[in-house]
Structure 1
Amino acid sequence: MSKKIALVTGAARGIGLATAKLFIAQGWNVAMIDRDGDELQSASADLSDAKPFIFDVSIPEQVDQMIADVLGAFGQIDAVVNNAGVADFLPVEETSFATWRRIMETNLDGVFLVSQAAIPALKETKGAIVNIGSISGLRASTLRVAYGTSKAAVIHMTKQQAAELGEYGIRANCVCPGPVKTKLAMAVHSPEIISAYLDAMPLGRYGTENEIAEVIHFLCSDKASFVTGQIVAADGGFETTGVGLPALRRK
C-alpha cells in the first residue's frame, strides 16, 4: 500500500477528528478509533480515506483486536496518535477512587495498551507515536488531581518510549494542548474563565483543533524524522506564564 496509515484514537470528535481529517488531506489513510460507535460512524461517513473501528482503548482484549483489525484492513501502521481521553474536574477532597480509576483507565492505561500493541507494526514501518498530554500535565492547576496526574504520567511514558524504541527507528513525542476552542470547552467555560485564560496567554486567544492537529501531523511526518522524546506545548504560551488562575478555582 503506497499511502501511509495513521491510527487515531478518540477520533469521533474534537482534536481527534480534526487530526484524522488533516492526515487525510495530507494523503494518508486513517484508522479512526472511538468507543462511541454512533458518533464515530457519523464522523467518518464522508471520509473516503478513513475506516471507523469501534473499540475501547482501556480494555486490553479490545485493543489487541483493534490492532489486528486495523492491520487486516490496511496492512500496516505508520503512526499512532493516542488522543482518547476523559476528564472530570473536581477538588482533591471530592475526587473518589472510582473517578481516579476511570480517568487513569483511558488517559494512561489506554495510551500504554495501544502503544504496546502497536509496537510490532511500528517496528516494520519505523513509525511514530504521538501521545496527547496537556498543559495540566506540565504544571499543577486546580480541580485536576486525576486528569493532570494522568497527563503527567503520559508525558513521562513518552520519554520512556523514545528512550527504548529509538533503536527500532520508532519515534515518540507528546503534544500538550492548552485551551482549545472546542464545543465542550465553550460549553463549560464561563465568561470569567474565558477572560482569565485570554489574559494569561501571550497570544491572547484560544487555539483551534486544527492548530493542534498540525503539530501532531508534523511530529508523525518525515519532516520530524530526527525529533523524538520531545514534549511540545501547543498552548499559546499559557504554560510559560503559569496556571492555577483564580477564576479556575472553585472558591
Structure 2
Amino acid sequence: MADSPFAGKVVVVTGAGSGIGAATAHRFGRDGATVIAVGRNEDKLRRTVAEAPAGSAIVARAADVADESSITALVEEVAREYGRLDVLVNNAGIATLGTVENTGTADWRQVMAVDVDGVFFASKAALPRLRAVGGCIVNVGSVSGLGGDWGLAAYNTAKGALANLTNAMALDHGREGVRVNAVHPCLTVTDLTASFLAEPVLAAFRERNPLGRPAEPAEVADVIAFLAGHDARFVNGVHIPVDGGLSASNGNPRLF
C-alpha cells in the first residue's frame, strides 16, 4: 500500500471495538496506515482485527480512556514502538438515558469520564507526538452535542463539552501544526444505539431525517478519514454534521 493516502502513518482510534470506531480503523487500514485499535474489551478488539480489510495493519491494544495513566501509557508505548503518531481519533463514548432529575450521579460521572475526560487525557498524551510530525486529531461528537434531546441530559452535556473542547484545541494548537476537527453523527447503527433502534423510535427517525434512515458506521468513518487527510490540510476547528441533512431543518415538522 505504498501509494495509499496514509501509507507510513500511525493512527490511534479509541473505542475501536465496534461501530464507528471499528469502521474507522478499517478505513485507515485500507488506506495504508498502521492502526492501533484501542478499547476496553479485548474480545471486541480482536473481532475488529479479524474483520479488517485484507493487507491492512491493525493492532489491538487494550486501554481505558477514562483512566489517565492507562491511555497515557498506551500513547507512549505506540510512540516508542512505531516512532511516530500521526492521527488520533477520539471515538470512545457511552450514553445513558435520563433527565437531570432522574440520572444517577454514578451514571453522570461515568459518561463525563469517558466522553469528556477520555478525550482530554488521550489528546494531552498525543499532542507532543502529533506536534512532531504535523499530525491531527479528529473528535467524534454527536448531533446531540449541537442541540438537545429529550431524556439524554448527561450525553448532551458531554458531547456539547467535546464540541467546545474541539474549538479550544484548534485555536491552541493550530500554529503548532496540529489540526483539530470534529464529526457529529446522527443516530448511527452501532452497539451503543441498538437499544434505540426498535420501532417506533426508528420509524420516527426515518420520518424526521431527510435521507430517511440512520447512518452507517462506514459513512462516518469516511468523513473522519477526509478530515485526517491531505485534502483537509487547511481545515481546522470545523464541525461536520454527518446526519443526512437533519441539522438543515429549523425544527418544524414536515408540513407538505
What TM-score range do you get, normalising by the shorter chain?
Answer: over 0.9
Inter-partner Cα distance in structure 2 for 1:75 and 1:109: 26
Question: 5+ residue gaps in structure 1?
Answer: 246-251
Structure 1 residue 242: Cα displacement: 6.0
Residue in structure 2 matched with residue 25 of structure 1 by the alignment: 30
Moved more, 37-46 or 138-147: 37-46
Q: Output the amino acid matched with 1:175.
A: V
* SS of equivalent residue, structure 2 residue 46: helix
Moved more, 33-42 or 227-236: 33-42
Residue in structure 2 matched with residue 14 of structure 1 by the alignment: 19
Q: Output the amino acid matched with 2:232.
A: A
Inter-partner Cα distance in structure 1 for 2:72 and 2:130: 15
Q: Output the amino acid matched with 1:38.
A: D
Residue in structure 2 matched with residue 164 of structure 1 by the alignment: 172
- Which one of 98, 102, 112 corresponds to residue 94 of structure 1? 102
Matches of residues 27-66 of structure 1 in structure 2 within 5 Å? 27-45=32-50, 47=52, 48-66=56-74
1:123 is aligned to 2:131: yes
Q: Output the amino acid matched with 1:237.
A: G
* SS of equivalent residue, structure 1 residue 50: strand
* SS of equivalent residue, structure 1 residue 176: strand
- Which one of 147, 161, 174 corresponds to residue 153 of structure 1? 161
Change (3 A) 1:149 1:236: same
The 8 Å contact of residues 141 and 244 in structure 1, kept in 2 or not, is answered as no
Question: 5+ residue gaps in structure 2?
Answer: none
Q: Output the amino acid matched with 2:133.
A: T
- Which one of 189, 193, 197 corresponds to residue 197 of structure 2? 189
Residue in structure 2 matched with residue 233 of structure 1 by the alignment: 241
Task: State the TM-score, normalized to the length of structure 2.
Answer: 0.91
Larger helix share, 1 or 2: 1
Structure 1 residue 44: Cα displacement: 1.5
CA RMSD of aligned residues (A): 1.8
1:140 is aligned to 2:148: yes
Structure 1 residue 51: Cα displacement: 1.1
Q: Percent identity?
A: 36
Change (3 A) 1:94 1:244: farther
Change (3 A) 1:186 1:56: closer
Tell me the alpha carbon deviations over residues 82-139 of structure 1, each in whole angstroms, 9 at most, x when there is no partner.
0001111123311011111000000000000000100110001111100010000100
Task: State the TM-score, normalized to the length of structure 1.
Answer: 0.93
Tell me the alpha carbon deviations over residues 152-174 of structure 1, each in whole angstroms, 9 at most, x when there is no partner.
00000000000010111100001
Q: Output the amino acid matched with 2:104.
A: S
* SS of equivalent residue, structure 1 residue 43: helix
The 8 Å contact of residues 142 and 244 in structure 1, kept in 2 or not, is answered as no
Structure 1 residue 243: Cα displacement: 6.8
1:201 is aligned to 2:206: no
The 8 Å contact of residues 7 and 80 in structure 1, kept in 2 or not, is answered as yes
